[in-house]
Amino acid sequence: MLDIFDFECRYQWRSPHFLIVAAVFFLMTFLGMASDSEQISSSDAALNLNSVYAIVQTHLVFSVIGIFPAIAFVATAITRDHKLRTAEVFYASGVKPSAFATGRFFGGLVFAVGVGLAGLFGTMVGTFMPWLDPERIGVLNPALWAFTAFVILLPNYFFICATFFCLATLTRSMAAAYGAAMAFLIGYLKLNAFTGPEDLSWVVYVDPFGGASISEAFCYATVAERNAELPAGSILINRLIWVSIGAIFLLIATTHFRFSLRKPARKKKRERTVADAPKVTVRPDTAFAPSLFGQFASQLRMDVRGVLRSAPFYVVLAMGMVNVIGVINGSTGQPYNTDSWPVTGLVLRAIEGGFLFVVLMIVIYYVVELVYRERASRVSDLLDSTPAASGAIILAKVVALWAIIAMLLIVVMITGMIMQLINGFTAIEPGLYLRDLLVVNGSYFGGARCRYRGVCRQPLDRNARHDRGVPRHQCSPELRLRTQPVPLQRAVGPVLRHERLRALCGATGVVHALLSALLCASDDRGAPLEPSRVRLFVSRTAPDSETTVLPTDRIRWRDQRLGNDRYKCLDLLQHQCPQ
């Protein structure tokens, strides 16, 4: 076991990852301490810069940020051998599986903790910088640093590493570990968001990082106490709970780790052996009836199936759903302390803010995935030697992406409707949903390159859309307020109604994608073997691949627009709200 541990440490030390991540953590905490602009924890001007409260809070935040590097260290430690095909060598060496897994885990853990300590060291060095206000630097308190290292960082990293190490061991998949980490992170942030300071009684034990215990300990503390006193109370019990949970996960991982070269077999029922049917012995005669549409439809089915059967799709979708439900709850509950119905307009707004990034992520990921799919799974030679038309297959991929987007939008639409019904709002407006999601946000179809940025940057009038169709009596005060039209300010050039504009962008995107499909069909990018016929699949690295049009412009546009929007709301509330 010690050999394995030693090997793992040497391996990690030789790879540049540790040094890079540790350097980043060091710099971030160092600047957080030593410069005014980079405040990590919201610090109080009355507190010392190196107060117990500030430092513990900072490193709580860094424990959370550290999830991903920590997973990288421990999960690669156990999945690496399969990827590098060195598994046989280790497995044949006669080491016990449990010792192997334990050694690898602690090897990875050392480096994960090392990253956390690099951060702590950054803070420590930062406090000695001569330009800091000496009035706000308290005496150096060794107990504080020990507390942060042993009560905050070490248990946090141990828990995180053990949990995701267990997951990576059981699934043998880095993607599964990262996906679960995303879900974990969202869950954790939601846990924080849903609880105020008055509701910490149970959260102090549920918070795996111990942040709630710290908040509880300092809740009513004075400045002097926050500066110098180490938090007590539930923190130790919390640590005990989560270290034990981590230890259980570690135990599961080490006892379930097997030296088999294949992925862990599923249960028997997955092995669908099918009862023998009467044997066909006469070769059926072959009739050819090539149909372009048939080829297109078959490829479309394969590609949609491929996406719907891949894990990242569901991970990202689940993230989006959690988020959008949270946003709908948050935004329709009591925006600006007014009680409002979840009218369709508000729900659509919540969807735009909380879900459409999911669509964007899925588009960006799967546009590449779909285009590259045949090569990655080595099907391309089989397909290329058939007489199928390249254009039909490329078009199928474009349409598959559209189908996925449409499915996502419909899923979120139904979710929105269910949320409305749960909140007692029964005037469901499917038409409004469909128009907003499928037409107004139509530019997702085809990942449009928005060429109308100049126009899009104008402040756009959203009010008309949001409140159309909502009966006046159901509008909240806030909504009624916002029905007053905001004039289009500083309009440059022809003023387009933004939904028409976005529909237009969508249409051009669709045309663009279609053209890409057609152009791509006559475009031969030099594959290593110089294929004679049209390659179906554009290289992943080609910088200007016609079919991988990424809607990056839209990101900026969206941010810009939401920014404007938020500004407008506040502006209205401040200046036009009847007192």
Partner 1 sequence: MLTVRNLTKTYPGGVTALDGVNLDIPAGMYGLLGPNGAGKSTLMRTLATLQEPDSGTIHLDGADVLADPDTLRSRLGYLPQEFGAYPRTSPEVMLAHIAVLKGIATEKCKPLIEFLLHRTNLWNVRKQSIDKFSGGMRQRFGIAQALIGDPRLIIVDEPTAGLDPVERRRFQNLLSQFSEEQVVLLTTHIVEDVANLCPRMAIMGKGKVLAEGEPDVLTRALDGRLWRMKVQREDLAALGANHNILSTRNRAGALEARILADAQPTGSESAAPTLEDVYLATLNAAGIDTGLNDAMAA
Rounded to a whole number of angstroms, the CA Rg of the chain reads 28
CA distance 8 to 18: 12
Minimum CB separation of residue 528 from partner 1 in Å reads 9
* CA-based nearest residue to 55, from 180, 130, 144, 118: 144
Minimum CB separation of residue 283 from partner 1 in Å reads 6
298 vs 423 by CB, closer to partner 1: 298
Minimum CB separation of residue 305 from partner 1 in Å reads 8
Alpha-carbon 151 to chain mean position: 29
Instruction: Write the DSSP symbol of residue 86.
Output: -
Residue with token string 């490829």: 299
290 vs 431 by CB, closer to partner 1: 290
298 vs 560 by CB, closer to partner 1: 298
Instruction: Write the DSSP symbol of residue 490.
Output: T
Minimum CB separation of residue 546 from partner 1 in Å reads 22
292 vs 491 by CB, closer to partner 1: 292
| DSSP letter string, 536-563 | SS--TT-TT-SS----HHHHHHHHHHHH
Minimum CB separation of residue 298 from partner 1 in Å reads 4
* Cβ atoms of 413 and 437 closer than 8 Å: yes
CA distance 204 to 93: 46
142 vs 284 by CB, closer to partner 1: 284
* Cβ atoms of 441 and 356 closer than 8 Å: yes
CA distance 167 to 176: 8
* CA-based nearest residue to 58, from 242, 236, 209: 209
263 vs 451 by CB, closer to partner 1: 263
Residues that bind partner 1 (CB under 8 A): 271-274, 276-277, 279-291, 294-295, 298-299, 301-302, 305-306, 309-310, 373, 377-379, 381-388, 529-533
Residue type, 199: D
Minimum CB separation of residue 71 from partner 1 in Å reads 23
* CA-based nearest residue to 318, from 238, 411, 198, 240: 411
Alpha-carbon 246 to chain mean position: 24
Structure tokens at 416: 């929105």
484 vs 532 by CB, closer to partner 1: 532
Alpha-carbon 445 to chain mean position: 21
> CA separation (Å) from 510 to 395, 436, 547?
11, 17, 11
Minimum CB separation of residue 381 from partner 1 in Å reads 4
CA distance 257 to 170: 7
335 vs 531 by CB, closer to partner 1: 531
Minimum CB separation of residue 536 from partner 1 in Å reads 11
Minimum CB separation of residue 132 from partner 1 in Å reads 55
161 vs 404 by CB, closer to partner 1: 404
Minimum CB separation of residue 301 from partner 1 in Å reads 8
86 vs 291 by CB, closer to partner 1: 291
* Cβ atoms of 554 and 441 closer than 8 Å: no
DSSP collapsed to 3 states, 82-97: HHHCCHHHHHCCCCCH
* Cβ atoms of 572 and 459 closer than 8 Å: no
Buried b (16+ CB within 10 A) or exposed e, 155-190: bbbbbbbbbbbbbbbbbbbbebbbbbbeebebebee
CA distance 78 to 100: 9
Minimum CB separation of residue 22 from partner 1 in Å reads 36
Instruction: Write the DSSP symbol of residue 438.
Output: I
Minimum CB separation of residue 145 from partner 1 in Å reads 49
Minimum CB separation of residue 248 from partner 1 in Å reads 31
User: From its phi and psi, is residue 288 left (phi > 0), alpha (psi between -120 and 50) or beta?
Assistant: beta
37 vs 532 by CB, closer to partner 1: 532
113 vs 176 by CB, closer to partner 1: 176
169 vs 390 by CB, closer to partner 1: 390
Buried b (16+ CB within 10 A) or exposed e, 314-329: ebbbebbbbbbbbbbe
